[in-house]
Structure 1
Amino acid sequence: MKRIVFVCTGNTCRSPMAEALFRAKTQGQGYEIRSAGVAAYDGQPASVHAIQVMKERGIEHDHKSTRLSEELIEWSDVILTMTNSHKQAILDYFPAVKDKVFTLREFVGVEGYGDIADPFGGALEDYRRCAAEIEESLDMLLEVFVQKRFRES
């Protein structure tokens, strides 16, 4: 799985942070990473707090929002959503891709409530908490990919 799309609602908070964080973690490892929103308006910048939280982590990310499209779905190997409702929205419109759409937390094996809370409209600390939760899940995602490669070799 080399082509990953992270998905949230408006593609201005959670999925851009996931995209930027995972790109930073996997630099030079051959992953292609994008993000999109199920209800995004194309061309919107990431939220001010999302940009600030990424800068605090030493990551520059000049993000412009993208609405999830059929082309992006076809391009991807795996689609990782921030909530179960995002996953369900994708499956409602594109039921044939059920084998490659998961919540991020589901994909990495987190049991129980798997949604990553939306910090939109919240304080900077809400974005920091959200980024930490995403980063924890991305570290687990890397482990899943390492284990998958080991099993395939």
Structure 2
Amino acid sequence: MTRILFVCTGNTCRSPMAEAILRDKNIPGVEVRSAGVYASAGQGASMYAKNVLVENDIVHNHQSKPLSEEEMEWATHIFTMTQGHKEVINSGFPSMIEKTFTLKEFVLDDKYDKDIIDPFGGSEGIYRETFKELHDLIEKLVIKLKE
């Protein structure tokens, strides 16, 4: 079983979109969740995140949750949206370092550009850009996980 945990800041934009995109693929043997390093529990995804998912025929009923040691223990892979998120995890939970990567770092082996666009507070167009970036990276992730 492969268990993916996507992590962003507030768990209302990027990580829920990533979770929804991967979950929508219905890949046998893959479970997916999301959390936020500074999230409060129980918030829905942002309005624009929901709109962009609906535009792409993806249904996702999301409630934010803070990142916890339990969630990280559950995961076989932890994918953060930024290098900063990865550093928060690695400094607070050094035992998770072996399975924590930025999504870009894992998928693209990119040593320089490790951050995914943060749409928070931006226009719906920025959310569409972030969705496209996440969608493209997750397509590559699926291939890499099958290798």
TM-score (norm 2): 0.96
| Cα offset, 1:41, TM superposition | 0.3
Cα distance in 1 for residues equivalent to 2:123 and 2:27: 33
| Cα offset, 1:60, TM superposition | 1.2
Map 1:1-150 → 2, pairs under 5 A = 2-25=2-25, 27-111=26-110, 112-147=112-147
Output the amino acid matched with 2:8.
C
Q: Quick one: percent identity of the two aligned structures?
A: 49
Query: What CA deviation, in whole Å up to 9, does each residue of 1:58-104 have, x standing for no partner?
Result: 01111000100010011110100000000000011000111000000
Structure 1 unmatched runs, 5+: 148-153
| Off by >4 Å, runs of 4+ in structure 1 | none
| Cα offset, 1:114, TM superposition | 1.4
Cα distance in 2 for residues equivalent to 1:146 and 1:94: 28
Aligned pairs, number? 146
What secondary structure, in the 3-state scheme, does the structure 2 residue paired with 1:126 have? Answer: helix
Cα distance in 2 for residues equivalent to 1:96 and 1:71: 13
Structure 2 unmatched runs, 5+: none
Residue range with higher mean Cα deviation, 106-115 or 47-56: 106-115
